[in-house]
Amino acid sequence: MRYVLATDLLFVLSLTGARAQDGHFGHGHDHWHKDFYQKLVTPETKVSCCNLTDCRPTSGRTVGTHYEVKVDGAWITVLPNKVVKTSAPDHGYHVCAPLNFSGKPEHLYCVVLPPES
């Protein structure tokens, strides 16, 4: 019985972690807001990237000559003018986008990429 409960718990935790890496709105925001997100500014307009729960950790990848990040579970191309020139404390991908994100790359507020190796 103990083995089944441990397996069930691991399964639930894996689902929670996967959701966080899909860039779902508000997920993981509270953990990062005070020390990181509230300091981010958009490269284009120099205003805050983050309003309430706009920013969150996500997954990312390099595709050819550009980056893509997951926003609400969908891969979105990162435009160069959306990249904030700073690294997150966890050295991971983070995205700031509105609640009703349109899926258009130009509607991202900003993106944080991991440091280059």
Percent share of the chain, pLDDT over 70:
80
Better-predicted residue by pLDDT, 3 or 107: 107
Rounded mean pLDDT, 25-32: 76
In angstroms, rounded to a whole number, what is the distance separating the alpha carbons of residues 10 and 92? 23
Within 10 A of 87 (CB to CB), how many other CB atoms are there?
15
Q: What is the pLDDT of residues 51-68, one digit of tens each?
A: 778 899 999 999 999 999
Strands ordered across the beta sheet of 74-78: 60-63, 66-71, 74-78
Q: 62-102, pLDDT tens digit by residue?
A: 999 999 999 999 999 999 999 999 999 999 999 999 989 99
* Averaged pLDDT score across all residues of the chain: 81
Query: Domain segments of the chain: what residues?
Result: 2-112
Which among 78, 80, 82 is positioned nearest to 43, based on CA atoms? 82
Residue 4's pLDDT band, with cuts at 50, 70 and 90, is: very low
The average pLDDT across 105-117 equals: 90
